[in-house]
Structure 1
Amino acid sequence: MPEMPQMKKIPVEELKPGMVFTRTVFGDNYEIVAEPNTPITSKDIENLKKKGVKFVETTGELKGIVKIQEEVPLVDKVESSARELVTFYKSLVDSVESIYTNYKVNKEILPEKVVNVVEKIITKISEVGDKNVFLNLINIVDKTKYLSTHVLNATILGLLLGKEMSYPESKLKLLGTGILLMDIGMVFIPMSILERETKLTDEEYNKIKTHTVLGYKAVVQENNMSPEVGRVCLEHHERWDGTGYPRGLQKHQISEYARIASIVDTYEAMTRKRVYRDRMMSFEAMRAILAEGSTKFDPDILKVFLRMMSVYPVGSYVMLNTRAIAKVISSDPISPFRPVVKVVYDEFGTKIDDGETIKLSEESKIFIVRPVKEEELK
């Protein structure tokens, strides 16, 4: 009768990523750590240490150590890419500021400069390949120049939405150019009105509403740009039910580019602090937009926007039923109420830098209790 192979104990501390054994490697209670001829990963080793396992066992022999391509955790990919993009983002803010200032001073838009900014965003979105990086970016950057950052963020959101709608690059350029210039007419609205802390008079509100017509004139009549771009300036405050301005258009009378712009413009404005009101939480803004969805916005485009953003938008904070607070780092289009989150405060309110990343759609016992305002974290 052949001798049974002996089970050997191997200290977890001696395990290295890429180790391959000829037989199955077991942890506590014969839980399989690695199949025969399958490399052990750093995640396997990390999980063993988290569970307090000191030894693994196998009847096999060490076959060798292979080089494996470790998967970079989603949170690391998102945060690393976002850090790299901050400089890129700030340069775009400066470019937009220059475009708007130049028009105010010289009545000249410089279309090639506008298109250049839009092309840079389109290229960067394709290079990065993960919309969540950009959704995080427009949340984490310090926004001091309201008009420039507002139209830039709306442009980024609009281009991401356009890609979700399978727009070709030619349509993305027109869409992005229109959104980037949609508030160009605002440069002639007095700051005393734009920064008013009290309720505007009817006369002042009507003055602000003229920015749509002024924008169209600036783009089409003064600078000979595409009427499709001009219509975004003119129609981004029109509403699906005909209650918008300046012409009270409804449904498909409004250009598709402007229907996209109206959604991203509204969402971005809601989530920005103004002198006359605090910023809304991303969750509150989404809820407000959804509440008016069937009447104010194109319902088909709104569905795509919801799928892209999720109910709990990337960059927002939520409390879990464990009492821990987590940051939303990725949306889940299939389960919009169960995004991917990273724990940033434990259940005792202690801030943690290396918190667990949780894909809530795969965790039946963990769920979101409520959104959390950033002020609550301080």
Structure 2
Amino acid sequence: MKQIPVQLLQVGSMYTKPVYVEDNNLLVPAGIAIRKKDVERLVSWGIDTVRTEGEMLPPGTKPDQVGPGGGVGNAAKLPVLPSLAEAPGNQGTYRTYTDLIEKLKGIFKDIAIGSSVEVHAIDVIISRLLQVIREKRELIIGYILAGEVKHHDLAKSSINTAILSCLITMEFKVPNHKLLQIVTAALLHDVGMLRLPREILDKRGGLSGPERQCVQTHPLMSYRIACKELLYPEAVGLMVSQHHEYWDGTGYPRQLAGTQIDSGARIISVADAFEAMVSQKPYRNSMIGYQAMKNLLADNSRRFDPNVLKAFIKTMGIYPIGSIVLLNNGAIARVTEVRNETPLRPKINLLINKSGKVYPPNEGETIDLLTEKTLFITRALDPKDLTKARE
């Protein structure tokens, strides 16, 4: 795989194979032009080189001249998938998801300025969230991985973290009241950020020592908001205050270690970290779910409780449910079911077959890779690079 210096990347150029930033982070797929903002982001991130197995296409080559294998000729057009949210039958769940984010955004606005908040409104969000997780689990995970909502960062992050925390907690089969407490804490874990100075929250460069110390006070501020203002029980506040404590004792604010950390806080910590990796940030692109899962697996009992990580992987899979994957025959599919004992051979639903035919979501063939021995996943794809949502 060749290395290309970022300073030599040409805006508008296309390659016969995907271009990657580090490991498996996709910059652009084959036949997609590199944009000015792509180059600017690389420069701002301090990245010197990108990688590709392909060759630069001749100037004037159009995307519809690039075949599935990356060659140029009278090939099928580069596949474009409909957004998961736009698919027939999915709109209702998507409206529920976005409505929950909007409602939480309104609550967070009131918390930020110190206005009175109706706690019942938060409880209603939690109730609706649990219902949609139980009824549309795969779909709601797909929305998180696909980055379907582009704004409302804190509210969206909090809803997503609550969803992921719920899924992990369900794996432990805890009593319902404990599940409700963990989901509530996950929803409120970062509310203390709302009271931090705006100039720190909006800063794009590195934080100074005092600024970093200020940010590290947010778990305690979140605790005060949850327990003193919203009057949630101490059990919820404990999880909120400890969600940045690390398994090895190097976290904050109290440097707790191992089982000194509340079990719910350990769950929220894993969910929060995964959510942060798969979400777009001002300073970097989002990771695909597969890469985020690889990063968690590489933790080595430093930040996270190993048992919580095992439960998360068992729930989500190495290729998390909702992931878009490329098969060895050139077909593209969405992961629909994972197995803990065979994480590399999940059930998938075809989105584009090997001939390039595009299927609407849920209308392609369902394939069990455990029984289809000739097929296997070659790599995960970024959903944003295969949807109409791409800028």
Structure-1-length-normalised TM-score = 0.73
The question of 1:95 aligning with 2:103 is answered yes
Corresponding residue for residue 185 of structure 2: 178
Q: Which letter maps to 1:359?
A: D
Per-residue deviation, residues 319-354 of structure 1 (Å, max 9, x unmatched)? 111122222233233322112222323446564445
2:367 alignment partner in structure 1: 358
Partner residue of 2:336? 329
Three-state SS of the structure 2 residue aligned to 1:358 is: strand
Which one of 312, 327, 341 corresponds to residue 319 of structure 2?
Answer: 312
Which of 101, 104, 126 is the matching residue for 2:112?
104
Unaligned runs of 5+ in 1: 1-75
Superposed displacement of residue 200, structure 1: 2.2
Moved more, 311-320 or 283-292: 311-320
Q: Verify the 8 A CA contact 1:159 1:176 in the aligned structure 2.
A: yes
Question: Secondary structure at the residue paired with 1:332?
Answer: coil
**2:132 maps to amino acid:** K
5+ residue gaps, structure 2: 1-83
Task: Give the equivalent residue in structure 1 for 2:212.
Answer: 205
With over 3 angstroms needed to count, the CA separation of the structure-2 counterparts of 1:192 and 1:267, relative to structure 1, is: same
Q: What residue number does 2:126 align with?
A: 118
Matched residue pairs, number? Answer: 299
The code of the aligned residue for 1:290 comes to: L
Contact 1:109/1:219 (8 A) holds in 2: no
Which residue of the partner structure matches residue 4 of structure 1?
Answer: none
Change (3 A) 1:355 1:116: closer
- After superposition, the C-alpha distances for 1:121-156 in whole angstroms (9 at most, x for unaligned) are 223334x1x532321233353231000010001101
SS of 1:294's equivalent?
coil
The amino acid across from 2:209 in the alignment is D
Q: Distance in 2 between matches of 1:201 and 1:348?
A: 54
1:244 to 247, 251, 268: 251
Q: Give RMSD over aligned pairs.
A: 2.2
Q: Secondary structure at the residue paired with 2:91?
A: helix
Q: Does 1:137 align with 2:146?
A: no
Give the whole-Å Cα distance in 1 for the aligned partners of 2:269 and 2:381: 26
Shift of 1:294: 2.1
Please report how far the alpha carbon of residue 107 of structure 1 lies from its aligned counterpart in structure 2 after TM superposition. Answer: 4.8
**1:335 aligned counterpart, secondary structure:** coil
**305-314 or 212-221, which deviates more:** 212-221
Once the two structures are overlaid, the 10-residue window that deviates more, 336-345 or 209-218, is 336-345
Amino acid at match of 2:120: E
User: How many percent identity over aligned positions?
Assistant: 31
- Distance in 2 between residues matched to 1:247 and 1:168, nearest whole Å: 28
Q: 1:342 aligns with which of 328, 338, 349?
A: 349
Greater displacement, 339-348 / 298-307: 339-348
Corresponding position of 2:202: 195
Cα drift, residue 111 of structure 1:
2.5
**Change beyond 3 A, Cα 1:107–1:251:** farther
Q: Is residue 2:165 matched to residue 1:158?
A: yes
Q: In structure 2, what is the Cα distance between the partners aligned to 1:293 and 1:345?
A: 37
Q: Distance in 2 between matches of 1:221 and 1:120?
A: 25
Question: Which residue identity lines up with residue 315 of structure 1 in the other structure?
Answer: G
CA distance in 1, matches of 2:384, 2:101: 26
Report the alpha carbon displacement of residue 311 of structure 1 after superposing the two structures with TM: 0.3
With 136-145 and 266-275 compared, the bigger mean Cα shift is at: 136-145
Q: 1:376 to 1:114 in 2, by over 3 A?
A: closer
Matched, 1:275 2:279: no
How far apart in 1 are the matches of 2:262 and 2:324? 35
Residues 304 and 314 from structure 1, CA distance in 2 versus in 1: closer, same or farther, beyond 3 angstroms?
A: same
Cα 1:247–1:107 change in 2 (3 A) is farther
Contact 1:154 1:179 in 2 (8 A): yes
Larger Rg: 1
Q: Which structure has more RCO (C-alpha within 8 Å, separation ≥ 6)?
A: 2
* C-alpha displacement of 1:98: 1.8
As a proportion of its length, which structure holds more helix?
Answer: 1
Q: Give the letter for the 1:138 counterpart.
A: I
Single out whichever of 344-353 and 253-262 deviates more from structure 2: 344-353
TM-score, normalised to structure 2, is 0.71
In the alignment, is the contact (CA less than 8 A) between 2:98 and 2:149 conserved in 1?
A: no
Moved over 6 A (4+): none
* Preserved contact between residue 139 and residue 322 of structure 2 (Cα < 8 Å): no
Q: 1:167 to 1:223 in 2, by over 3 A?
A: same
Q: In the alignment, residue 342 of structure 2 is paired with which amino acid?
A: S
Residues 326 and 105 (structure 1), Cα distance of their counterparts in 2 relative to 1, 3 Å cut: same
> Which of the residues 360, 369, 373 maps onto 2:382?
373
Which residue identity is paired with 1:374?
P
* Letter in structure 1 aligned against 2:277: M
